[in-house]
Chains A and B, each alone.
Chain A
């Protein structure tokens, strides 16, 4: 039985905007196991990023976490709900035990500080080094880890002097500087050139092996999922529709949305068939469809689907689905 590192329970995040209350994610529950790479997949705007940020409460106004728990299992075996911690306690966890890599390296780094300073700062604010000077010295090692060429001189560079791929290596460097227990990579390759994407993924895989870290990988690229992850969580319109191992989900998708999604892209684990699009549009989350949120686009929708919200059911070991057909 795998040990959970994080248990997310009934997490809901709403955005109170002028156009209405956007229910970005509602009632999201899943576990992240120690040492695994868990992929969170879904279309743009389905709540993947919001979910990952809510884990350490990185939700800005007008967004608010309205409900839920994020149980974090510490090394000493004790458990703590991250959503009830004080600001200072959660700050000590961010970047130290749970670190992030964001999508766009061009905007993640502060343009006015050298990259050495920014990597060193990550260590300094968590007391891993005495001062920023020592931080910058140690940053050379971190940047070598992420295979940035010529790190001794590069630490003095400003972000604008680096290419996109190199910047993302720096961002990853910031993420791993404190050897975190959970690394949350939010579409780490989307903003990069295709050729660089593979290098960054390789780097992530290697680092993960080396440090035995847990990774939550957020992506809409199913090819990346097949290559790097062990388990998959599929989200649609702010809700989880399916959870399972890569094998289960890719070979035996239970939810009609997962099935449709797999048909819409070349199935990375199967042979190439004709690609199909999913009819309909992504619902607006201010007035989401009642019942199952996928029902307006679902070919199998029934009366029950329109009125009752399906809950997650375990169909086979470790394979969950939220659909009235099962």
Chain B
């Protein structure tokens, strides 16, 4: 796997300009902002002049823009940049919240795969039938429904009517931590009661977050399956006398090559797509943190969050590339 190592290094290098660029964009947005954030950081209108000056000095706000930028980036890498709102290093804040977002994305991903793959395959196998038409429209409804409308509908059905979920607080992590993702730890340590608690709190937000992505995956799987089915190699398999089930196995394997790479990108998209879900379901994750940092003009936090999102994006792309090379013998690193 020497090829893989080289590939990772080469790809890693192309990330650098993207990461710099993304943080720079945020920084420019922050830099041109008309409102003076320092007063808000120092505690609002009542803040003393001395406190304001202290904060300005602490965040290099009196220095030229490039010095401010370097200060922010250096602070991120050494984790010495403090969130002015709670005086905790930004990446510590992000780390705590990322666990919640990651767990949310995991639940969503579970539903995406559970619904998107089989329904997409059924839709393709029964192409141009009534079943196919219904499933295609269903997928489009999933994509077309705003997440907040979906969320309130589900809250009404599953919380108010049937009370199948909890909507407040965050269940504690199981006592024995391995991966630091509570739901995975509770499975590994066979902590059944904690697992149930996690599921009760997270299944509905995950389901809500995942539904649009499930629609996208359904459509993608269907098209990919049909594309693979229409290839000459499928006709040759038929001419060989291969039974239907086996024929579909070949087609499915071919169809899954692009689907698997899409799955990696979708997981990245789920991680980045949480702001509205976390707001509605009151989950203290990255999305909520990002929203709050925009509302309170908390730029150190915003730069940190953006940096994280950019890392998520490039990592998802990288994983997609690696998976592609693993499932398709034609691709080499």
Contacts and interface: CB of A to CB of B under 8 A. Distances in A.
Interface of A: 56, 58, 60-61, 87-88, 91-96, 99-100, 102, 104, 107-113, 121-122, 125-126, 158, 160, 171, 174
B56 interface: no
A48 B253 CA distance: 32
A102 B236 contact: yes
A122 to B, nearest CB: 5
A158 B239 contact: no
B296 to A, nearest CB: 52
Given A107-B233, A158-B329, A126 B241 contact: yes
B180 interface: no
Nearest to B253: A112
A268 B128 CA distance: 49
A100 B254 contact: no
A119 to B, nearest CB: 10
A230 B220 CA distance: 50
B241 A93 contact: yes
Interface in B213-243: 231-233, 235-243
A51 B258 CA distance: 35
B257 interface: yes
Contact of A94 (B232, B239, B328): B239
A161 to B, nearest CB: 8
A113 B241 contact: no
Interface of B: 128, 231-233, 235-244, 246, 250, 253-254, 257, 327-330
A104 B232 contact: yes
Closest 3 CB pairs of A and B: A95-B241, A100-B239, A95-B240
A95 B236 CA distance: 9
A125 B242 contact: yes
A324 to B, nearest CB: 38
Nearest to B331: A160
A110 B232 contact: no
Contacts of B233: 107-111
Contacts of B241: 91-96, 122, 125-126
Contacts of B240: 94-95, 99-100, 121-122, 125, 174
A58 B239 contact: yes
Nearest to B328: A112
B236 A112 contact: no
19 contacts: A61-B128, A87-B244, A91-B242, A92-B241, A94-B240, A95-B239, A99-B239, A102-B232, A102-B236, A109-B236, A111-B330, A112-B250, A112-B253, A112-B257, A112-B327, A125-B243, A158-B329, A171-B236, A174-B236
A274 to B, nearest CB: 38
Given A99-B239, A121-B240, A158-B330, A107 B231 contact: yes
Contacts of A158: 329-330
B242 A112 contact: no
Nearest to A103: B232
A125 B242 CA distance: 6
A122 B236 CA distance: 11
A279 B22 CA distance: 64
A104 B231 CA distance: 11
